Structure 1
């Protein structure tokens, strides 16, 4: 009897000790470590929606289900094998939805070999990034900080797709609308008639740039709390990370054409009126963009460059994303990108990337709309900008030129 009682006491004490260890482990190491070693739940089910209902976004998963998805749906690099479970029972969905749904485990992958030239191009671009980040002659704010030192608000351009293990840093004015469309299709974050949208170009433009459609790094804090930064690092290590860039000066021309030569009420009120007051001798510019265009008033390209070079500009607010430097948007010295695309070689690079991601049979890069701003126009656009201002502008964007392999625009700077 005494032996049995003593045994029960040891069992109780042992259980209490194990519970204490679990609590300590949870608090010190993190919930992600604990749950990464437990069985994962089935993948998310596609919710039922009535037919003829408009586009809807998928329900945001809970903390634990998202951790499950992180493990269960992750694609091991180089395998190309989706690890999703069999699709859920769709008997309660409409016949149209049943016909349109294609289980991802049945998607076939194009394995056409990538040309040696394209593989070498990527190797050179990645190597250049590493060399420039290690080169002491390339200096810019934040270059030598760690990933942990990057403020959360500066991680809003890193879009995460947990289904395929992809991270995309979008750069405005570098085909980002179409790449965002592709990320929406791959992440299945947009449902139509109860099934994921498959056609990138069928996604309305207002949804493409709707922040609720994309799960970005700066949203991790709300979902994961103190485990956010740890999970970012895990995904940065495991996922394929890509970025697309273009000639920095041509990107500025494109931004100016799109935001100030076209009627854009928001950009007119936020930026154009400031430029007109400061640099165009317009102390009381028209109240709306329609009034301004009606009398032929809008800031010139030279006014735009003055605005970028004015120290007062960034004292008031950081550069808008459409002309903010790429190194400030995507942190290439803290994040080792696996793929660096250039807009100048967009079609080849897009095809190469989709093959590398093994989704080239699932989605194609839309080529129906291309920005027509060409590098050959630089001299004409900068003809109204004083040479000294051009050189100051180059200093402002020189890190982007050097990091991504764009030649110094001597024809513009030496006139």
Structure 2
């Protein structure tokens, strides 16, 4: 009798536990579904990363402790003085520090994993900056970004082709200037003739996309010049569709939201002068055949120009700067094909109305901006922007270069590049528009 009573009591208990367990499972499942809905972007990103050989962004240094504005304001003066002294102390010991395990990087590329035990050189150590970034540098960036935001968001201020389209409206082929580094969470939109060679070197070093004797390059200047512009070394948005298919746009948006995005720009007319000098005043066979021959035939009365750039230069034949401007203003040029990247408008390369850039650098303030940016990216302790000869094409030369360009053509050229002038905060060169 007692056994029957005990059995009858244990059944409800077991049934209660089983029911309670089912309830917990249901509640848990609902909770997980809600998490997925709320954080679907992050879940999607994690899923994509599992299918790549690279991990998500991880800063080279820990981010500074966040503080409220009042606390930061109160402590800023004390910290600046103290950290400046620490800077000097730390850098005193970093100068000349050597690491005997660092392998030398040669001139030729060898993808073999074998490492020579005989080639060792001291590693260069970069200075560590502990002082806060100057407020005026932050304000300068805020001003540059605000100009873009105002012009892109207000048609009444200034309207231009492509201003109001969405990111999804941009064809994949127009996203080939956006280089992605997943190791550090960086996206760089390169603009030719705006220090892009050295910034590409930086991206190669950070992404470790190029090896020498199985070891990634660590000094940007060691990257061979002929390989810097090799497209296979740079993972761009244009390549996403091959790897991710229908998910490519979604992944692009995730990276645009989470990564630090930057570009460098330059006075539009000075950039054109630089492009002409580099591609047509020098013996460039490719640009001669693709563009110079057409200019000579259309605007210089050469019905049969020399077949090669060597023969043309030997005969003293080359398109003038005026021919180049005629070529840019000729409606036939863009009908045949989009502008070459070296003279295509900067906003058409980088889409600032569709991409909210975190940093807008300028060639005119390159040294200052490069140091500022590397600190923002938290990579200034592992890479340094290469020191280079200052570009000889400067804005003060504009009047000389445009002296033989008719006033009407100058006005037409300004209208062609007006969006670049206004979006990136460059004043109209008024001296060029008065006879």
TM class by shorter chain equals 0.7 to 0.9
5 Å-filtered alignment, 1:3-18, equals none
Tell me, yes or no, if structure 1 residue 66 matches structure 2 residue 52: yes
C-alpha contact (below 8 Å) 1:170/1:243 kept by paired residues? yes
5 Å-filtered alignment, 1:235-384, equals 235-384=255-404
- Structure 1 residue 142 displacement after superposition: 1.1
- Structure 1 residue 32 displacement after superposition: 8.2
**TM-score between both structures, scaled by the size of structure 1:** 0.79
Q: Go from structure 1 to structure 2 and tell me whether the alpha carbon gap of 1:183 and 1:100 turns closer, same or farther (over 3 Å shift).
A: farther
Cross-structure match for 1:112 = 131
Cross-structure match for 1:128 = 147
Q: Which has the greater radius of gyration? A: 2
Separation of aligned partners in 2, 1:138 and 1:325:
16
Q: Go from structure 1 to structure 2 and tell me whether the alpha carbon gap of 1:109 and 1:163 turns closer, same or farther (over 3 Å shift).
A: farther
5 Å-filtered alignment, 1:50-199, equals 64-66=50-52, 69-70=55-56, 73-75=57-59, 79=63, 94=115, 96=117, 110-136=129-155, 137-199=157-219
RMSD: 3.2
Query: What is the DSSP-based 3-state SS (H/G/I as helix, E as strand, rest coil) of the residue aligned with 2:403?
Result: helix
Q: How far does the alpha carbon of each residue in 1:213-255 deviate from its partner, in whole angstroms, 9 at most, with x for none? A: 1000000000111110001000000000000000000000000
Query: What is the DSSP-based 3-state SS (H/G/I as helix, E as strand, rest coil) of the residue aligned with 1:384?
Result: coil
Q: How far does the alpha carbon of each residue in 1:17-48 deviate from its partner, in whole angstroms, 9 at most, with x for none? A: x9xxx9xx9xxx999846727xxxxxxxxxxx
C-alpha contact (below 8 Å) 1:341/1:350 kept by paired residues? yes
- Structure 1 residue 121 displacement after superposition: 0.7
- Structure 1 residue 79 displacement after superposition: 2.2
Separation of aligned partners in 2, 1:196 and 1:237:
28
- Structure 1 residue 132 displacement after superposition: 1.3
Tell me, yes or no, if structure 1 residue 217 matches structure 2 residue 237: yes
- Structure 1 residue 111 displacement after superposition: 2.9
Separation of aligned partners in 1, 2:425 and 2:44:
43
Of residues 204, 209, 212 in structure 1, which corresponds to 2:224?
204
- Structure 1 residue 205 displacement after superposition: 1.3
Tell me, yes or no, if structure 1 residue 397 matches structure 2 residue 417: yes
Ranges in structure 2 where 5+ consecutive residues have no aligned partner: 1-17, 19-24, 66-112
Q: How far does the alpha carbon of each residue in 1:183-207 deviate from its partner, in whole angstroms, 9 at most, with x for none? A: 0001111111211100101111111
Q: Go from structure 1 to structure 2 and tell me whether the alpha carbon gap of 1:68 and 1:277 turns closer, same or farther (over 3 Å shift).
A: closer
State the number of aligned residues: 358
C-alpha contact (below 8 Å) 1:109/1:358 kept by paired residues? no
5 Å-filtered alignment, 1:6-45, equals 33=43, 36=46
Q: How far does the alpha carbon of each residue in 1:157-187 deviate from its partner, in whole angstroms, 9 at most, with x for none? A: 0000001100000000000000000000011
Q: How far does the alpha carbon of each residue in 1:236-289 deviate from its partner, in whole angstroms, 9 at most, with x for none? A: 000000000000000000000000000000000000000000000101001100
Separation of aligned partners in 2, 1:35 and 1:372:
44
**TM-score between both structures, scaled by the size of structure 2:** 0.76
Q: Go from structure 1 to structure 2 and tell me whether the alpha carbon gap of 1:100 and 1:334 turns closer, same or farther (over 3 Å shift).
A: farther
